[in-house]
């Protein structure tokens, strides 16, 4: 019985294989396009784009710093406050600057007094010179007295000129002291919103080597998008092309504008050994690191933000429109042959009775899914887009009767 059962099973398997082969041969003979994937030539719209990731920044962003050292005596703003240009942001203890101004003014007054003294001396010296000139002409005085009187006049005039220059220097010191005193009142340089408060009331800031940031103010009624465009896409992108973007928190909304600028060089240029201020070894290391990473050229454009939805440093999913075509003939991109030496393309067209012929076509825009056909095809024609794989053929065979 066991041998008989095995023979029966083997017979069923053989019969199934034979039946499947007969079914596939018969199906292929009946349908010559059984292993061909096709699609219709349709009329539609094509939109060729470049995708990029961008970052949102205020159209103007200013770090407001302290230009004099001292203790912050008051902070007049908080994060989110709207300010106008000239509004008081913070104050720094002004006593040292006030004292410096008083000292500078006193020095100026002293030099001016010295000049007035010398001017009075000049009047007397001129009178003496006039008398000596008269008496010397009458030979009533010596030549030495005459020359001494003349030298005194010239010396006094030179001293007045020197004091005039010192007055100018003292006036500059007074003006500088007045400016430094004004720097103790930190004001907003632009209209905008306070985005960050760095320093706190009572904190001492040191402005000797650099200007420490007190607050950051930005204009957020209009935002700038800085989009990273890959080196592969950069040659296709041009200033003036339409752009749109969405943000992660509002994927159903799109903001639209035109590309305003495209950087001629990537940020990695900073590490180029030709312009780097670092040592040779560190420059070479930086250049090597930069060359091994992806290269991006930054494109910029502005969009209005009247409703305040867009916020600083949000991520923007940017789309640069390279071209658009409406109501044109389209086929799946998979239907096209690889480009020839001169860029020529062909498609396989299914004719009547299932005959397949190769036809040259002129291709327009291509969004990598469907492409525009400018000539060579007509609406409603059928083109070949691929062939079924062996696995697909096998899976399409009917199951063996009764199973195993």
Q: pLDDT value at position 311?
A: 94
**DSSP 8-state class, residue 194:** E
What pLDDT, on a 0 to 100 scale, did the predictor assign at position 209?
A: 78
Hey, what are 139's tokens? 């030979």
Number of H helices, E strands in the chain: 5, 18
- The pLDDT of residue 353: 78
Q: Give the pLDDT confidence score for residue 19 in this predicted structure.
A: 55
DSSP H or E run through 172: helix 143-183
Q: What is the pLDDT of residue 143?
A: 85
Please name the residue ranges forming H helices in 184-298.
280-291
Where does residue 139 rank: exposed (0-12), middle (13-18), buried (19+ CB within 10 A)?
A: exposed
Cβ contacts of 165 within 8 Å, gap of 6 or more = none
Calculate the CA 106 to chain-centre distance. 51
| Interior angle at CA 151, CA 146 and CA 152, nearest 5 | 100
Residues 6+ apart with CB under 8 A from 206: 69, 212
Q: Which residues pair with 226 in a beta bridge?
A: 55, 300
Rounded to whole angstroms, the Cα distance separating 347 from 377 reads: 9
pLDDT for residue 237:
94
Q: 22-64: per-residue pLDDT in tens?
A: 554 545 445 556 678 899 999 999 999 999 999 999 999 999 9
State residue 8's pLDDT score: 56
Question: For residues 277 and 290, what is the distance between their CA atoms, to the nearest angstrom?
Answer: 16
Regions of the chain with pLDDT less than 50: 1-3, 24, 26, 28-29, 278-290, 392-397, 401-404
Buried b (16+ CB within 10 A) or exposed e, 164-193: eebbeebeebbeebeebbebbebbbebebb
User: CA nearest 228: which of 303, 302, 315?
Assistant: 315
**Residue from 257, 372, 255 nearest 324 by CA:** 372
Q: Is 342 exposed, middle or buried (0-12, 13-18, 19+ CB in 10 A)?
A: exposed
Pairwise CA distance, residues 182 & 92, whole Å: 10
Rounded-to-integer distance, Cα 59 and Cα 226, Å: 11
Asked if 363 contacts 373 with a C-beta cutoff of 8 angstroms, the reply is yes
Q: What is the pLDDT of residue 210?
A: 82
């Amino acid at each position: 019985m066991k041998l008989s059962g095995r023979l029966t099973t083997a017979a069923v398997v053989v019969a199934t294989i034979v039946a499947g082969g007969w079914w596939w041969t018969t199906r292929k003979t009946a349908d010559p396009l059984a292993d061909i994937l096709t699609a219709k030539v349709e009329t539609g719209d094509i939109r060729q784009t470049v995708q990029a990731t961008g970052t949102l920044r205020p159209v103007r962003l200013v770090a407001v710093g302290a230009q004099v050292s001292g203790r912050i005596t008051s902070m007049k703003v908080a994060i989110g406050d709207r300010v106008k240009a000239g509004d008081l942001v913070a104050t720094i203890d002004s006593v040292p600057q006030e004292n410096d101004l008083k000292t500078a003014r006193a020095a100026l007054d002293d030099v001016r007094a010295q000049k007035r003294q010398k001017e009075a001396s000049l009047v007397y010296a001129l009178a003496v010179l006039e008398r000596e000139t008269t008496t010397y002409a009458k030979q009533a005085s010596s030549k030495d007295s005459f020359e001494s009187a003349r030298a005194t006049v010239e010396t006094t005039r030179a001293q007045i000129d020197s004091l005039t220059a010192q007055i100018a220097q003292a006036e500059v010191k007074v003006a500088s002291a007045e400016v430094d005193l004004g720097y103790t009142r930190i004001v907003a340089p632009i209209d905008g919103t306070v985005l960050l408060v760095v320093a706190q009331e009572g904190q001492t800031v040191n402005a000797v080597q650099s200007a420490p940031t007190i607050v950051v103010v930005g204009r957020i009624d209009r935002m700038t998008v800085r989009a990273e465009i890959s080196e592969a896409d950069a040659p296709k992108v041009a200033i003036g092309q339409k752009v749109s973007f969405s943000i992660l928190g509002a994927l159903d909304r799109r903001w639209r504008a035109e590309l305003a600028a495209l950087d001629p060089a990537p940020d990695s240029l900073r590490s180029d050994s030709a312009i780097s201020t670092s040592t040779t070894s560190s420059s070479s290391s930086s250049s090597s690191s930069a060359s091994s990473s992806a290269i991006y050229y930054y494109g910029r454009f502005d969009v209005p933000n009247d409703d305040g939805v867009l916020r600083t440093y949000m991520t923007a999913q940017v789309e640069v429109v390279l071209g658009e075509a409406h109501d044109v003939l389209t086929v799946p991109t998979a239907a096209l042959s690889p480009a020839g030496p001169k860029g020529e393309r062909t498609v396989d067209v299914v004719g009547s009775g299932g005959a397949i012929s190769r036809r040259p076509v002129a291709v327009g825009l291509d969004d990598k899914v469907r492409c525009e056909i400018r000539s060579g095809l007509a609406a409603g024609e059928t083109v070949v887009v691929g062939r079924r794989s062996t696995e697909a053929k096998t899976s399409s065979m009917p199951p063996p009767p009764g199973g195993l």
